Structure 1
Amino acid sequence: MRISSVTMYEQSTASINRQQSDFLKVSQQIASGRRVVNPSDDPQAASRAVRVDQSQAITQQYADARVSARNSLAQTESILNSISDSVVSAKTLLVQASSDTLSDVDRESIASELRGIYETMIGQANATDGNGRYLFGGYADNAPPFVKNAEGSIEYKGDANAREQRVDASRLMPVTENGISIFQSVPSGAGYIAEADNANQGSVTFSGPQISDVNDPGYGESFLIVFGGDADNPTYSVQKFDGTKWDDFNPALTNKKYNANEQKLSFGGLNITLKGDSKPGDEILVAQSGSAQRPADLFRTMEAAINVLETPVEDDSQKAALRNTMNTSMRDLDNALDNVLTVRASAGARLNELDVVDAVGSNRMLNYEQTLSDLVDLDYADAISEYSLRQVGLQASQKAFVDIKGMSLFDYM
């Protein structure tokens, strides 16, 4: 069969081009360090690499979110630590103010210190995260969550939610606390607290209440001790809140003669001791801290303590109000401290959880990197061998073309 010169030229050129293409492909792989330079090099590996790359990007986004969450939680934990220190300082001052040896001037000095702690607490409650968002307002974080009303008392203007952030595919984590959980809550184990009505005219003081029987049918209810009778025949009655109003709790505790020297009462699994002269209409509330009848409020506690310390003690009624308020406030501060420490422990636990999630995320990222490397990265030993082979093939193809080009029938004529 006769082979034309055109055919020889075309086949030789095609061979050279093919060898050169293969040689350049290996050169690109070595230069880039990747086995899959173009999707056509390995379509299946390329498509899998795209999915792995997307998973890497998502994992990195979660890692960035955890950094933000850790900053918020660390700041929250730091502020809670400061609040707990403030509560301890306030309790110390109240213990000092409870001494009968102090004068009105001494108590006013303590009240001044206590007011400074109170203002510090307000500042801590309205702390921001550095980006202008208030930490303890829930999702209503564009305005201070705690503000003073017209009467000078502190009101909470935030919402009851805790701002959350997704730190992993399956974990939506609260990264702050709302003000209710910190300043207007008590731990689940908070007990009963007694509180004398501000309008009381008598000099009755109380000691307790102490829990005597948690299995008592009345335990868990709210009670009101109401004084009646007259100066010659004082009486007391124990009432229970039935959901809408106060009603007599027990006939045995209704309109009973009151002993001003010492009156011990037992009801609802509780014991409380009363002393001092009563006036008709005086009331003492005995309820669980955090209940509807005795809501928890750290700022209200501080305000009550400051007000009574700033009021001069001129008679037995004011002296009783001072003693009762001190007793109630100290119990409130104990509950507030327990609550703040509980919330702080929760924030610390979430910080620890972030460390665990970070470790899992880092391992996941390493797995993605290894998978991506297996899919597209180059084996240099194989590539260099292939490079040498393709180079020899190209040179051989070029040498063959030169030899074939020089073959002519006229050389033998």
Structure 2
Amino acid sequence: MRLSTNMIFDQQVRGVTDAQSTWLKAGAQLSTGRRVTNPSDDPIAASRAVVLSQTQARDSQFALARSFANQGLSLEESTLGDVTTAIQAAQSALVSAGNGSLSDDDRSSYATQLEGIRSQLLNLANSKDGNGRYLFAGYESDKAPFTQDATTGAVTYNGGSDPITQKVDSERTMTVGHTGDAIFNKLTSNAKPEPNGGASQTNLFDMLDSAIAALKVPQTDADDATKQTFSAAMDKANRGFSNSLNNVLAVRSEIGTQLKELDTLDAKGDDRTVTLKDQMSTLVNVDYTQAISTYTMQQQLLQASYTTFSDMSKMSLFQMNK
């Protein structure tokens, strides 16, 4: 096979170009710290990196969801702590008001105290979060869940019927916003029953209204029937407050369990993040020891290519015939 000067020249140019390309690629890996920048660098590693990247993005979204869930549940727990304190204050006032030696004025004073507690509880039931959304309204958080009738004074729940749920991990969805109906209008399964078998009061505000109304009825010089009615009303209110308190505590217990679970999920998420980061690093990041060695070797090869090209470029058939 006959080799012309042009063929020899072209081969040497390609050799120099290839050596320079490999050297520049090694330099780029050192400067960026990444072994795989384009899919062509390592198709298998690149495809696996895409999957890992999607998993990392998904886990990041779950971590953000858990952060929001933690904030919401913590605010609920704090608010229900105040609700618990208010109900316990109402219980204490009711026990004191049941003392038979009190005057009508004394009982009226306790009624006023319960009215203050009722207003406090109504305010807590209509609490808002930092974004102005009502805590206990379910998905209808743009309006007050509890409203008071201007004529009768009765408090009713008008919020959403479904609690707010949030997916906090790939296989876990939890309640992050309880409805006011489940907190202020419900009783636990082990609630104290009425002695006569009648229906127990479930609405905390109705319980307070009944107790307040009973305390405003004069008992001094009252007949036995009136006194018996008063005593029965006090007993019923005591049972109602006890049942309502147990229900609030049950919700708080659920929230406490959820907050603990969120901490556990966060810890697992952090561990998974570290693992995925290590896997991603193994796939696409450069091994600096190997990269430096490759860079140095390619630099020497490039220099050798330059030298060879320089020597070969001086050769021609005319020079060989001299």
Question: When the two structures are superposed, what TM-score results if normalisation uses the length of structure 2?
Answer: 0.94
CA distance in 1, matches of 2:93, 2:2: 116
Please state if 1:9 is matched with 2:9: yes
Tell me the residue number matched to 1:106. Answer: 106
Structure number with greater Rg is 1
What is the CA-CA distance between 1:321 and the residue it aligns to? 2.5
Counterpart residue type for residue 250 of structure 2: T
Give the structure 1 partner of residue 75 of structure 2.
75
Deviation string, structure 1 residues 245-278 (Cα, Å, up to 9, x no partner): xxxxxxxxxxxxxxxxxxxxxxxxxxxxxxxxxx
TM superposition shift of 1:159 = 3.0
1:182 is displaced (CA, Å) by 1.0
Once the 2 structures are TM-superposed, how far is the Cα of residue 313 of structure 1 from its aligned partner? 2.6
| Alignment partner, residue 271 of structure 1 | none
Post-superposition shift, 1:82? 0.9
Alpha-carbon contact 1:162-1:174 (below 8 Å) kept: yes
Specify which of 259, 265, 281 is matched with residue 351 of structure 1: 259
Question: Structure 2 CA distance, aligned partners of 1:124 and 1:191?
Answer: 25
The SS at the match of 1:383 is helix
Matched, 1:296 2:191: no
Q: Per-residue displacement from partner, 1:344-399 (whole Å, max 9, x unpaired)? A: 00110000111111112112212211111111010000000000110000000000
What's the counterpart of residue 402 of structure 1?
A: 310
1:168 aligns with 2:174: no
Amino acid at match of 1:80: L
User: What is residue 287 of structure 1 aligned with on the other side?
Assistant: 197
- Give CA deviations for 1:25-84 in whole Å, capped at 9, x if unaligned: 101111110000211101121111111101100100000000000011111111111111
Farther off after superposition, 144-153 or 306-315: 306-315
How far off is 1:412 after superposition? 6.3
The question of whether the paired residues in 2 share the 8 Å contact of 1:28 and 1:37 is answered with no
Which residue of structure 2 aligns with residue 37 of structure 1? 37
- Cα distance in structure 2, aligned partners of 1:47 and 1:334: 61
Deviations 1:66-103 (A, max 9, x none): 00000111111111111111111001001110111211
Q: 1:313 aligns to what?
A: 219
Q: Does 1:336 align with 2:230?
A: no
Deviations 1:321-357 (A, max 9, x none): 3222111101111111111111100110000111111
Name the aligned partner's letter for residue 43 of structure 1.
P
Equivalent residue letter for 2:72: S
Structure with the higher helix share, 1 or 2: 2
What does residue 199 of structure 1 align with? none
CA contact (8 A) 2:163 2:176 kept: yes
Are the equivalent residues in 1 in contact too, given 2:193–2:200 (CA < 8 A)?
no
TM-score normalised over the length of structure 1: 0.74
Q: Which moved more, 1:339-348 or 1:403-412?
A: 403-412
Written as runs of structure 1 = structure 2, the 5 A alignment for 1:37-76 is: 37-76=37-76
Percent identity, aligned pairs only, is 39
Correspondence for 1:192: 193
* Residue range with higher mean Cα deviation, 24-33 or 132-141: 132-141
Match of 1:322 in 2: 230
SS in 2 for 1:188: coil
Cross-structure match for 2:18: 18
How many residue pairs align between the two structures? Answer: 318
2:42 is the alignment partner of 1:134: no
Please tell me the residue identity of whatever aligns with 1:410.
Answer: Q
Deviation at 1:411, TM superposition (A): 6.8
Counterpart for residue 121 of structure 2: 121
Higher-RCO chain (CA-CA 8 Å, sequence separation at least 6)? 2
Hey, what does 1:158 align to over in structure 2?
A: 159
Greater strand content:
1
Unaligned runs of 5+ in 1: 194-208, 210-285
CA contact (8 A) 2:214 2:230 kept: yes
Aligned residues of 1:91 and 1:330 also touching (Cα < 8 A): yes
Residues 27, 387 of structure 1: 8 Å contact kept: yes
CA contact (8 A) 2:201 2:207 kept: no
Matches within 5 A, 1:206-245: 209=195
Q: Equivalent residue of 1:343, what SS?
A: helix
Question: Per-residue deviation at 1:105?
Answer: 1.3
Deviation at 1:3, TM superposition (A): 2.9
